[in-house]
Structure 1
Amino acid sequence: MNVSAINSLALLNMATNEIAQAWFMQTCTAEKWCINMVKQRPFSNIQALTKQATKQWNTMTIQDFLQAFSGHPMIGDLSTLREKYANTKALAINEQSGAQGASEVTLKTLQKINLEYQQKHGFIFIICATGLSAKAMLNELQVRLPKSTETEIRKAAQEQIKITLLRINNAFSRPKHKG
C-alpha cells in the first residue's frame, strides 16, 4: 500500500507507521504532530480522528507550528502551489481557489504584503483560505500584518488546525476509485 491508496479510515488504520506518517504529512507538515497521530491509531471514526488531531495540535510547540507553516505556499503564489506542493495537491487543491480568479494587481499586492509579513514575523501568512476571495485574504493580511509576532503565531496555529481538519475531511470525502 502507498500513501495515495489511503482513501478510507480503515486503510489509514491498517497502514504501516511509515505510510501513515506520510499520509499525515499531507495534512500537516509538523513532524512531531504526524508521529503523534500515527501513535493514536486506530481511529474508530472520522470524529475521533479529528478530535485527536486537534488534541495533538494543542500539545505542539512554537517550533512545531513554524514547521507546519513552512509546508504552505505563499497565498497568491499559484506557481509555488502547483510545483512545490504537488504531493499535497489532492488534499489542498481548492485551498487557494479564491486567488485563482483574482486580478494581477490583487495577486501582486497579496505577494508584496505577504513578503512584508514574512520579513516581520519570520513565516508566511497562514489563513484557512477555503471559500475566501483574494480580496478577503488581502484584507485579513492587512489587518494581521501590524500585530505582534506572538499574536500571529497563535492566530496562524488556529488557522493551521482548520486547514489540517479540512484536509483530513476532504481525504475521506473524495470519490473512491474503482479498480
Structure 2
Amino acid sequence: MRLSLQQFNELSPADATSHLLTCCTSTHWAQTLVNKRPFIDMPAMLSHSDDAWMQAQKDEQNLLEAFDGHPQIGNVDSLKEKYRNTQDSAAHEQSGANDAEDDVIEALAQGNQDYLDKFSFIFIVFATGKSAQQMLDLLLARLPNDRETELLNAATEQNKITRLRLQKLLSDA
C-alpha cells in the first residue's frame, strides 16, 4: 500500500510503525522514525531515517534484527511465509538472481551459507540493478573480512535498501 507523506504523518504510531517495518525490520529504527514525525518532505524523512539508523547501529541486536528481515539472495521463495511483510520488496530487489545460470545460483547459495557460517547473519547487499554474478562477486570479495567489518558493510547496505523501500512506500516521493 502506497501512502502520501501526509497520510503517513497522520497515521497512528502503531500503524506508522507497521508500515516502516516493511522497509526495515529494526523496531528501534522504526520507533525512532515514527517519533520524528511529521516530516515536511521526503528528503527530511530520509535524513531522519539515516540518523535513526546510525543510532540503531550502536547496538548489534538492532542490526541483526534488521538483517533477519531479509531472505537470502536467491532463496526468496522459501522464506515468503516468515517474511511476508518484506517479500514483495525483496523479490523485486533480487530480481537479478532470477535469470542467473544454475552454476552462479549454486555458487551464490554456497557463498551465502559460508557467509552465514562465518558471520552468523546473512549476506546483505543492495541488490537492485545487480546481476547474480555481480552479487556473487561482491559476496566473495566480502567473505574474507572480519565480523566487525561485515557488520558495518551490511549496515551500510541495509540503509541503502531501507531508503529505497521508503521511497517506494510513499507515493509522492
User: TM-score under structure 2 normalisation?
Assistant: 0.93
Deviations, residues 128-150 of structure 1 (Å, cap 9, x unaligned):
00000000000000010110000
Greater RCO, 1 or 2 (C-alpha within 8 Å, sep 6+): 2
Please list every run of 5 or more consecutive structure 2 residues that lacks an aligned counterpart in the other structure. Answer: none
**Alpha-carbon offset, residue 83 of structure 1:** 3.9
Aligned AA (2:159): I
User: What's the secondary structure of 1:87's corresponding residue?
Assistant: coil
Contact 2:3/2:169, CA 8 A, preserved across alignment: yes
Structure 1: distance between partners of 2:91 and 2:98: 11
Q: Is 1:46 the equivalent of 2:42?
A: yes
Q: Is 1:10 the equivalent of 2:18?
A: no
The change in CA–CA distance for 1:90 and 1:115 in structure 2 (over 3 A counts) is closer
User: TM-score under structure 1 normalisation?
Assistant: 0.90
The CA RMSD over aligned residues, in Å, is 1.5
The change in CA–CA distance for 1:172 and 1:93 in structure 2 (over 3 A counts) is farther
Q: Is 1:25 the equivalent of 2:21?
A: yes
Please list every run of 5 or more consecutive structure 1 residues that lacks an aligned counterpart in the other structure. Answer: 175-179
Identical columns (%):
39
**Alpha-carbon offset, residue 172 of structure 1:** 2.2
Alignment correspondent of 1:145:
143
Contact 1:74/1:80, CA 8 A, preserved across alignment: no
Aligned length in residues: 170
Aligned AA (1:37): L
